[in-house]
Amino acid sequence: MTAKEKLVDELSEAEAAAELRSWSARRGRLAALTESAPIDDEPFTDEDVAAVDESYADLAAGATTMPVGEFRRSRGPASRAE
């Protein structure tokens, strides 16, 4: 059973409507933030290209990764301000 099917089976109509409103509000806020963000017009430098290449090489070599939430928890409250 898919996640969508489980939601349909588990939620009442009223619960589903409330969740849909909540989800739509969150999605709307994200869209507003995205649309109002300044355009990043700085040129992509050779240093940027090298950093991206290094990251992909690390991943290809089997480097371990960490979810951003776990990284932030490991760094403490100061990392949440970024």
**Within 10 A of 16 (CB to CB), how many other CB atoms are there?**
13
Give the per-residue pLDDT at 53: 97
Which uninterrupted H or E stretch holds 14?
Answer: helix 13-36
What is the pLDDT at residue 79?
55
DSSP 82: -
Query: What pLDDT digit, counting tens, does each position of 64-77 carry?
Result: 999 888 988 998 87
- Rounded mean pLDDT, 36-45: 91
Q: Residue 73 sits in which domain range?
A: 41-82
Whether pTM > 0.85 for this model: the answer is no
Task: Verify that 28 and 50 share a domain, yes or no.
Answer: no
Q: What confidence tier does 26 reach under pLDDT thresholds 50, 70, 90? A: confident
Could you tell me if 30 and 49 lie in one domain?
no
Pair 59, 65: CB distance under 8 Å: yes
pLDDT, average across residues 31-47: 90
> Are both 82 and 45 inside the same structural domain?
yes
Does one domain contain both 59 and 74?
Answer: yes
